[in-house]
Amino acid sequence: MADSTDDDLKTLRESVRAVLTERGGGPADAEDRPEGFDPGLWTLLSGGLGLAGLGAPERFGGSGAGFRELAVVFEECGRALYAGPLLQTVLALDAVTHAETVDEKLAGDLASGARLGAVAPGLPPVRGRADLGVRWSDGALTGEVRHVVGAAGADVLVVEADSGELYFLETGAAGVTVVPGPVLDPTRRLADVSFDGAEALPLTGTGGARRLRCAAAALLACEQVGAAEAALEAAVAYAKVRTQFGRPIGSFQSVKHQLAEVLLDVESGRAAARGAAEALDEDDPELEILASIAKGWCSRMCTEAVECSLQVHGGIGFTWEHPTHYYLKRAKTSELLFGDCGRHRTHLADLLGL
């Protein structure tokens, strides 16, 4: 799939959408299950469709595709508010397979979905500051990282330390404490992870921490595009059937203009997110610039798209039974994850020398 055609990508999108539409995997699964996702659906997605290892080389049990294909997958996950461990496992697998010395057994387990990963990249550095809370000394990690996606259910963790390198360790290792925290978005479980002399292995290699930060920003931006598109489509559908003063509210100029502006923003976000994803495949020297553009734009775009959908739906959009509030919670959480808009824009200004 490394040279996927547009038809290949369309088929991939349709397959993922069909499974997520039929099996759910969103808010209901997150709230009803202690692990926060449907294990059976995860097995189907990771093993049956091969999504966990989609971007990994075939020699490590992957499909040999890349981030161009993953961008399509994560747009669909965003549309469905998928609550499973795909994002964090894909990111952990990418970090492991780009290390100088690859643990092939670990890579294969992550690619098959047999083991779950979690990642704790640092925020994009600004004004020369990385603000990393984990220290590396004498082969061990000390410190704390907060709000790590899926850490409570993960088997392995990839973390960035103050040395500027990535390190790998088991979440159940001595000196590692994982504490689940309260969340706004029930479809995305977060936890704080502390290290007290926890032994870890360095993952030195091409890109390292820089690549992990950019990959996290790019894939999350793709997710935000999918969620925003779903919110927009719901708003347009409702505007066609909801009447006021004897006319569909979609015929009112103010509503049409608002939805049209959201559409332009979503398509701009799609271009930015896919551009960042493809830059990862091509080792583009401007990868950091493209990743920060994507995350900085898509974060606000997604939130504003969902807020627009909420306004168009009116009173029904505020009810607990309507899914819009889940999209708003996902948008707000994703806006802060891996660096908020302000952080990425300041980082972007640093990169451009502004």
Share of the chain above pLDDT 90, in %: 87
Q: Is the pTM of this model over 0.75?
A: yes
What is the rounded distance in angstroms from the CA atom of residue 182 to the CA atom of residue 205? 35
Instruction: Please list the residues that pair with 177 across neighbouring strands.
Output: 194
pLDDT at 29: 82
pLDDT at 206: 64
Tokens standing for residue 280: 């990862």
pLDDT digits (tens, 9 = 90+) for 15-29: 999 999 999 888 988
Q: Which residues contact 257 (CB under 8 A, 6 or more apart)?
A: none
Share of the chain above pLDDT 70, in %: 99
By the 10 Å C-beta count (0-12 exposed, 13-18 middle, 19+ buried), 326 is classed as buried
Q: Which residues contact 135 (CB under 8 A, 6 or more apart)?
A: 141, 142, 143, 161, 162
pLDDT digits (tens, 9 = 90+) for 89-103: 999 999 999 998 889
How far from the centroid of its chain's Cα atoms is residue 317's Cα? 25
pLDDT at 1: 46
Q: Please, what are the domains in the chain? A: 6-87+103-112 (1.10.540.10), 117-202 (2.40.110.10), 208-352 (1.20.140.10)
CB 334 within 8 Å of CB 302: yes
pLDDT tens, N- to C-terminus, the chain (354 residues) = 457 899 999 999 999 999 999 998 889 888 888 889 999 999 999 999 999 999 999 999 999 999 999 999 999 999 999 999 999 999 999 999 999 888 999 999 999 999 999 999 999 999 878 778 999 998 999 999 999 999 999 999 999 999 889 999 999 999 999 999 999 999 999 999 999 999 999 998 767 899 999 999 999 999 999 999 999 999 999 999 999 999 999 999 999 999 999 999 999 999 999 999 999 999 999 999 999 999 999 999 999 999 999 999 998 988 988 999 999 999 999 999 999 999 999 999 999 998
pLDDT at 286: 97
Pairing of strands 156-160, 117-120: parallel
pLDDT at 186: 92
